[in-house]
């Protein structure tokens, strides 16, 4: 692609956002059935149909389904006759949104549907995610995602950048805020002191510092310029978008910082104005500390008013949902300017930063 | 339509092909079989362990293989009180990022320390290989690391 990340050249808006109910286990629907109402809602919100978008891009992973090219089947949730321009990333839907945004920047399309889905419940998530690691040095040891996150949390504690009490405070706040999010999976008001009485899952991480296992899906319609204004009275504009990646060699990284987030934030222009709300894709509580610092946000910023991924962590759509929730916080008047972050890979290996503003 | 119980079936997916590991990872795995730990020299003379064909920081080519270890320092660790079935050790153990002597990056493996109160970041550990006859040229040739100065009780 000729366009890289950065500040928006052609105005592009989040015209519509929808997500499924986030649940621990959805046995009653396959991926297509889970997506269909979400796709119907994201179009229905703004009174359009699939004929109004020029491009479809999705994010999902074959590892969860256990079969190759599973995203092709998922297209049935949209319906692709007559034939449509379509693409897929084996990543969180936030990266599918990035691909669509690049095409919009280049002027190749005027509107796009982005969706993402994942059912974590059918398999053994610890084993499945271990298989996505380096096949020679890491996967043969079967280090599960909780263990890798725990190594990062210990490094953070050793560096004096966070404590177990901090992790509990983040988890407590997130799940309390989720009580006002009807789509959240885990919403409850438990004080940090009570959470700290839990046993460790993998020390220094207790149960509350881990994300829930979630089945869910989400979708966003992106629209450029005039179309955005036509479809929405108060469009939310993407003013900057970028993603960066660090090495997959865990032992060659400083796990207590996130230089890829910092770089993406610089390119996307996070510091160009005040930030009211940040939706941070930090599946493990301690990662919020790292990402918040990497984004350069202070304590005046409201973090994850939706409850964030500690309240619902549908794999492959949890990052896309951050963009949708950040846009929603602007639509609702809570924020004038918001930042959304998405992550992928072990210990925040890859990070995407999206800056959004109202009219 | 009345609600009925969802059907469940097990599904086994596998990729039963073999791959060549190449000149750098191959040398490291061969070293394990011989009971040696090898790193590779990266940009600016740093030593990368586990070794890759490219420098993980700069992306540049890497050079000669150099022997490292067998001891090293724990950079971070996490205590597993309930090992999962496929974990390297069946009894409680620590995952650790270990910077081997002579290396500039850390290797992930298990440390058999005996208990979470007997390990801390900065501790010295040393490699414990499987018996030579059992080694096959894979990460599992390292049974675990152990605190330097003796195996746990």
| Same domain as A202, residue A79 | no
* Last-in-domain residue among A185, A203, A231: A231
Interface predicted TM-score (ipTM) of this complex, two decimals: 0.93
Strand order in the sheet with A277-279: A86-89, A55-59, A111-119, A215-224, A6-19, A236-245, A350-357, A337-344, A277-279, A302-303
> How confident is the model at residue A4, as a pLDDT?
59
**Considering the domain boundaries, does residue A99 fall inside one?**
yes
**Considering the domain boundaries, does residue A345 fall inside one?**
yes
Mean pLDDT of A247-274: 96
Residue A26: domain span: 6-124+213-231
What confidence tier does B3 reach under pLDDT thresholds 50, 70, 90?
low
Mean pLDDT of A203-218: 98
From B57, which residue of chain A is nearest by alpha-carbon distance?
Answer: A247
Torsion sign over Cα A97, A103, A108, A110: positive
Cα first-last separation, chain B: 62
- Name which of B25, B86, B87 is nearest A136 (Cβ-Cβ): B25
- Tell me whether B148 touches chain A (CB under 8 Å): no
Q: What is the DSSP string of A223-282?
A: EEHHHHHHH-SS-EEEEEEEEEE--S-GGGS-TT--HHHHHHHHHHTGGGS--SEEE---
Task: Give A138-155 pLDDT, tens digit per residue.
Answer: 999 999 999 999 999 999
Strand order in the sheet with B47-48: B47-48, B37-41, B65-68
| Same domain as A242, residue A225 | no
| Same domain as A203, residue A71 | no
Contact A66 B84 (CB under 8 A): no
| Same domain as A187, residue A153 | yes
Nearest-CA distance B28 → chain A (Å): 10
**Considering the domain boundaries, does residue A1 fall inside one?**
no
| For residue A220, cis peptide bond before it (omega within 30 degrees of 0) | no
| Same domain as A264, residue A145 | yes
CATH number of the domain that A26 lies in?
Answer: 3.40.47.10
| Same domain as A204, residue A178 | yes
Mean pLDDT of A164-185: 98
| Same domain as A260, residue A338 | yes
pTM summary value: 0.95
**Considering the domain boundaries, does residue A129 fall inside one?**
no
Task: Give A287-329 pLDDT, tens digit per residue.
Answer: 999 999 999 999 999 999 999 999 999 999 999 999 999 999 9
| Same domain as A65, residue A193 | no
**Considering the domain boundaries, does residue A130 fall inside one?**
no
H, E, C per residue of B68-130: ECCEEEEEEEEEECCCCCCCCCCCCEEEEEEEECCCCCCEEEEECCCCHHHCCCCCEEEEEEC
Q: Torsion angle, CA of A245/A262/A283/A99, rounded to 10 degrees?
A: -50
| Same domain as A290, residue A187 | yes
With pLDDT > 70 as the criterion, what percentage of chain A qualifies?
99
pLDDT at B150 over 70: no
**Considering the domain boundaries, does residue A264 fall inside one?**
yes
| Same domain as A257, residue A187 | yes
C-alpha B108/C-alpha B87 separation (Å) is 13
Helix (H) or strand (E) holding A78: none
**Considering the domain boundaries, does residue A69 fall inside one?**
yes
| Same domain as A147, residue A87 | no
- Name which of A66, A141, A249 is nearest B109 (Cβ-Cβ): A141
Nearest-CA distance A223 → chain B (Å): 37
Nearest-CA distance A97 → chain B (Å): 27
> How confident is the model at residue A70, as a pLDDT?
86
Task: Give B26-56 pLDDT, tens digit per residue.
Answer: 999 999 999 999 999 998 899 999 999 999 8
From B9, which residue of chain A is nearest by alpha-carbon distance?
Answer: A122
| Same domain as A319, residue A198 | yes
pLDDT at A1 over 80: no
- Name which of B80, B96, B107 is nearest A202 (Cβ-Cβ): B80
From A202, which residue of chain B is nearest by alpha-carbon distance?
Answer: B80
Tell which of A67, A142, A145, A154 to mutate to test the B interface (max B CBs under 10 Å): A154
pLDDT at B153 over 50: no
> How confident is the model at residue B127, as a pLDDT?
98
Q: Total structural domains in chain A?
A: 2
Tell which of B51, B78, B88 to mutate to test the A interface (max A CBs under 10 Å): B78
Cα first-last separation, chain A: 29
* Last-in-domain residue among A166, A196, A231: A231
- Tell me whether B80 touches chain A (CB under 8 Å): yes
- Tell me whether B49 touches chain A (CB under 8 Å): yes
pLDDT at A179 over 60: yes
**Considering the domain boundaries, does residue A44 fall inside one?**
yes
């Amino acid at each position: 692609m000729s366009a890289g990340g950065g500040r928006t050249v052609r105005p592009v808006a989040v015209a519509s956002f929808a997500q499924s109910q986030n649940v621990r286990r959805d046995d009653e629907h396959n991926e297509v059935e889970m997506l269909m109402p979400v796709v119907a809602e994201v179009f229905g919100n703004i009174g359009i149909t699939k004929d109004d978008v020029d491009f479809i891009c999705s994010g999902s992973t074959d590892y969860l389904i256990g079969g190759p090219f599973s995203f092709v089947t998922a297209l049935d949730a949209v319906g692709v006759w007559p034939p449509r321009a379509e693409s897929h990333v084996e990543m969180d839907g936030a990266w599918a949104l990035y691909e669509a945004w690049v095409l919009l920047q280049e002027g190749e399309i005027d509107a796009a549907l982005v969706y993402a889905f994942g059912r974590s419940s059918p398999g053994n998530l610890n084993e499945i995610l271990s298989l996505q690691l380096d096949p020679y040095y890491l996967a043969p040891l079967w280090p599960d995602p909780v263990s890798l996150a725990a190594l990062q949390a210990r490094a953070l504690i050793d560096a004096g950048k966070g404590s177990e009490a901090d992790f509990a405070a983040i988890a407590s706040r997130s799940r309390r805020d989720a009580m006002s999010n009807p789509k959240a999976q885990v919403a409850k008001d438990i004080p940090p002191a009570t959470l700290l009485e839990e046993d460790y899952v993998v020390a220094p991480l207790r149960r509350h510092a881990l994300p829930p296992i979630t089945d869910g899906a989400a979708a966003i319609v992106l629209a450029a310029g005039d179309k955005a204004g036509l479809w929405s009275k108060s469009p939310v504009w993407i003013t900057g978008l970028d993603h960066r990646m660090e090495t997959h060699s865990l032992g060659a990284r400083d796990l207590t910082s996130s230089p890829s987030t910092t770089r993406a934030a610089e390119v996307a222009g996070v510091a160009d104005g005040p930030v009211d709300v940040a939706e941070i894709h930090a599946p493990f509580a301690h990662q919020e500390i790292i990402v918040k610092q990497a984004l350069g946000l202070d304590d005046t910023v409201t973090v994850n008013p939706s409850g964030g991924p500690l309240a619902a962590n549908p794999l492959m759509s949890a990052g896309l949902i951050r963009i949708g929730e950040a846009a929603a916080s602007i639509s609702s008047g809570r924020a004038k300017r918001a930042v959304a972050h998405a992550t992928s890979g072990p210990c925040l290996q890859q990070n995407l930063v999206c800056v959004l503003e109202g009219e | 339509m009345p609600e009925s119980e969802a059907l469940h079936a097990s599904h086994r997916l596998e990729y039963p092909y073999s791959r060549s590991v190449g000149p750098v990872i191959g040398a490291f795995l061969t070293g394990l079989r011989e009971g040696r730990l090898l790193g590779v020299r990266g940009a600016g003379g740093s030593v990368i362990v586990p070794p890759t064909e490219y420098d993980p920081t700069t992306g540049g080519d890497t050079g000669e293989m150099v022997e490292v270890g067998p001891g090293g320092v724990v950079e971070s660790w996490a205590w597993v009180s309930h090992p999962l079935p496929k974990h390297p050790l069946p009894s409680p153990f620590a995952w650790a990022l270990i910077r081997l002597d002579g290396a500039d990056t850390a290797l992930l493996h298990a440390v058999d320390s005996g208990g979470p109160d007997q390990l801390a970041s900065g501790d010295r550990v040393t490699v414990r290989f499987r018996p030579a006859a059992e080694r096959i040229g894979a990460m599992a040739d390292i049974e675990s690391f152990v605190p330097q100065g003796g195996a746990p009780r």
